[in-house]
């Protein structure tokens, strides 16, 4: 492997030293221990021999960590003055020149750092109880009764870990082959059984998808059979950024994965987005970086599950999804996460039934169900608009059609008339500019800086939101932002609903990432902002009030 060339004659030495350390530790442990157990670590031994083998395993881990820092595909982060390791993401990059660390220095990438981290982790291990790890084919494993399952399975075609693991395998093998001969007795890691939809292994995309679906259904079927009745199972899925941008929440990988979960006998009770990726990690535009992760909360489907029609499924969605989405909004789920979150109650309806039949009596696919769930979410967010004042509803429609750009007065007048108002009304509200036969919405920066909601005789939800976003963009959860939140108290829920609507329009219809980010960020901070506003008792501005934010 020339791309992982060594940095000198010393590289191979630590691998041999691990064997020497293991022999010396066994001698010392035998002298100090009263145990006569000579079974090796792989057979559950707990005597001097197993202890020495465990120490050498941890040392091998430290060496393995160094290989991540000491290959010829590392690079230098000039903005941080630090080394970028080989696996800054789940791929081996191409580099024109590499950065070299000194293993024997006191700076970053030295030998002592991984040893120290591993020793500190060991020190925090519980002092009682015995844990075990087994390598078993997930489609064949038999779970013990009452098992609580939390699984992070492969993500369709996202990452080929088997290929990448060979990077570390060739360095771990010399140190650990004697301890785990069954694992390290092969030339490289097994590839053919890895449960990912990799076209080059299976002769094409269709065959790869079939392999993944069948394998994942078998693996999750074992989970459904073995999961404890008293506890839900949790299963994680990570989205590709490109999947979300190109196909939305009904993407091939996601729908195939959900199909496997439901076909295996699980009913999906909830889907909760979680933040699993560091914002500072290496992300290039257009790469398959994880947009976010979702945890599926599942229980075994009832044996008495019914079969219903497509029309009955849609009626159930219309009945159950709106209150569920309202609860998610009340929990301040960020708008960017709402489509994934809404999948939970939507799939809860779909997966509780044995099957949902199309008009031709064929079973509805998960992909179709996801599209229907997303349609209901759009209708719900659109329906919220009817609760706003007429001027705000005009601004929403105008923004959806024109953004912050100019449009014809005649078109604006038609939109206003349909809402029982005039363009002059929206202009009087301070929302738009109308001149020379053209109309446009005023940007946040153009709004009056001395605006006060209490003295505004033509108050609109649109103004309240835009002023709040303007301050939040500038100061975050500051005293001024919290004071404004306090002043618009009676409009707060309507303001939050409007933020969800405008996020949906900005992100999905206008493709305006900057505008969408502003609304998403406000909702993300909504809980803390509400707490800060509640702590304010004087909004006069005559004195500063300390906020513990």
Answer yes or no: do 203 and 103 share one domain: no
549 residues of the chain, pLDDT tens digit each? 333 444 444 445 556 788 888 999 989 888 887 777 888 988 888 889 999 999 999 999 998 888 888 888 888 888 877 888 888 877 788 888 888 888 888 877 788 888 899 999 988 887 777 777 778 888 888 888 888 999 888 877 767 888 888 889 988 998 899 999 988 888 888 888 888 888 888 889 889 888 888 888 888 889 988 888 888 999 887 655 444 444 444 456 677 778 888 888 888 888 887 766 554 444 443 333 334 577 889 988 887 889 999 999 999 999 999 998 888 888 888 887 788 788 888 888 998 898 899 989 999 988 888 889 888 888 888 788 778 999 999 999 999 999 989 999 999 989 888 888 999 999 999 999 988 889 999 999 898 888 898 888 899 999 999 999 999 999 999 999 999 999 988 889 999 999 999 998 998 888 898 999 999 999 989 999 999 999 987 666 543 444 444
| 149 found inside a domain | no
Calculate the alpha carbon distances from 20 to 62, 176, 238, 413, 531 in Å: 16, 13, 42, 86, 60
Q: What is the DSSP letter of 363?
A: B
β-partners of residue 363 are: 357
Q: Which residue, 334, 363, 385, sits at the end of a domain?
A: 385
Q: What is the DSSP letter of 145?
A: T
| 454 found inside a domain | yes
| 190 found inside a domain | no
Answer yes or no: do 510 and 530 share one domain: yes
| 378 found inside a domain | yes
| 392 found inside a domain | yes
Q: Which residue, 385, 412, 440, sits at the end of a domain?
A: 385
Q: Which domain holds residue 214?
A: 199-278+287-385
Does this model's pTM top 0.85? My answer is no
Answer yes or no: do 71 and 115 share one domain: yes
Nearest to 335 by CA among 193, 498, 504: 504
Answer yes or no: do 347 and 462 share one domain: no
Helix residue ranges, H only, 137-250:
161-176, 181-184, 199-202, 205-226, 241-247
Nearest to 169 by CA among 158, 180, 159: 180
Answer yes or no: do 91 and 177 share one domain: yes
Q: Which residue, 385, 400, 435, sits at the end of a domain?
A: 385
Answer yes or no: do 400 and 521 share one domain: yes
Going by their DSSP bridges, the two strands 432-435 and 407-408 should be labelled as unpaired
Answer yes or no: do 366 and 394 share one domain: no
Number of structural domains in the chain: 3
Answer yes or no: do 45 and 73 share one domain: yes
Answer yes or no: do 431 and 362 share one domain: no
Answer yes or no: do 344 and 445 share one domain: no
Answer yes or no: do 412 and 476 share one domain: yes
Answer yes or no: do 351 and 235 share one domain: yes
């Amino acid at each position: 492997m020339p791309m992982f060339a060594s940095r000198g004659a010393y590289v191979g030495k630590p691998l041999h030293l691990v064997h020497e350390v293991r022999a010396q530790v066994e001698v010392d442990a035998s002298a100090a221990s009263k145990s006569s157990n000579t079974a090796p670590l792989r057979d559950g031994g707990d005597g001097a021999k197993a202890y020495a083998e465990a120490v050498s395993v941890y040392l091998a881990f430290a060496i393995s960590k160094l290989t991540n820092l000491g290959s010829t595909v590392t690079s230098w982060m000039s903005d941080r003055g630090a080394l970028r390791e080989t696996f800054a993401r789940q791929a081996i990059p191409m580099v024109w020149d590499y950065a070299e660390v000194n293993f024997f220095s006191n700076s970053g990438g030295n030998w002592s750092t991984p040893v120290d981290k591993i020793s500190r982790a060991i020190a925090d291990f519980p002092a009682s109880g015995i844990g075990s790890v087994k390598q078993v084919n997930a489609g064949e494993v038999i779970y013990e009764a009452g098992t609580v399952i939390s699984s992070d399975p492969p993500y369709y075609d996202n990452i080929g870990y088997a290929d990448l693991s060979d990077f570390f395998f060739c360095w771990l093998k010399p140190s650990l082959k004697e301890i785990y001969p069954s694992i390290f007795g092969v030339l490289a890691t097994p590839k053919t059984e890895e449960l990912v939809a990799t076209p080059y292994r299976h002769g094409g995309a269709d065959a790869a998808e079939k392999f993944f679906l069948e394998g994942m259904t078998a693996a999750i079927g074992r989970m459904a059979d073995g999961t404890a009745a008293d506890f839900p199972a949790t299963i994680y899925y990570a989205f590709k950024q490109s999947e979300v941008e190109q196909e939305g929440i009904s993407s091939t990988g996601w729908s195939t994965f959900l199909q496997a979960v439901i076909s295996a006998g699980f009913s999906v009770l909830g889907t909760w987005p979680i933040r699993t990726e560091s914002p500072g990690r290496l992300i290039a535009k257009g790469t398959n970086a994880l947009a976010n992760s979702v945890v599926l909360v599942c229980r075994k489907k009832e044996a008495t599950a019914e079969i219903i029609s497509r029309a009955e499924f849609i009626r159930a969605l219309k009945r159950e999804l709106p209150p569920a989405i309202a609860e998610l909004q009340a929990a301040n789920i960020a708008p960017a996460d709402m489509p994934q979150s809404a999948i939970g109650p939507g799939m809860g309806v779909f997966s509780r039934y044995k099957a949902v039949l199309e008009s031709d009596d064929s079973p509805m696919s998960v992909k179709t169900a996801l599209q229907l769930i997303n349609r209901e979410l759009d209708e719900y967010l659109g329906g919220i608009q009817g609760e706003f004042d007429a001027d705000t509803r005009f601004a929403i429609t105008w923004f959806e059609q024109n953004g912050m750009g100019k449009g014809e007065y005649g078109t604006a007048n038609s939109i206003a008339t349909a809402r029982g108002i005039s363009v002059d009304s929206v202009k009087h509200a301070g929302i738009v500019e109308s001149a020379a036969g053209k109309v446009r919405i005023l940007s946040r920066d153009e709004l009056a800086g001395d605006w006060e909601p209490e003295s505004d005789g033509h108050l609109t939800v649109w103004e309240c939101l835009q002023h709040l976003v303007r301050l939040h963009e500038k100061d975050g959860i500051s005293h001024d932002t919290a004071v404004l939140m306090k002043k618009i108290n009676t409009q707060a829920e309507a303001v939050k609903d409007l933020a969800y609507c405008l996020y949906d329009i900005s992100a999905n219809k206008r493709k305006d990432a900057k505008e969408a980010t502003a609304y998403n960020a406000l909702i993300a901070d909504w809980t803390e902002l509400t707490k800060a506003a509640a702590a304010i008792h004087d909004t006069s501005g005559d004195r500063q009030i300390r906020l513990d934010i």
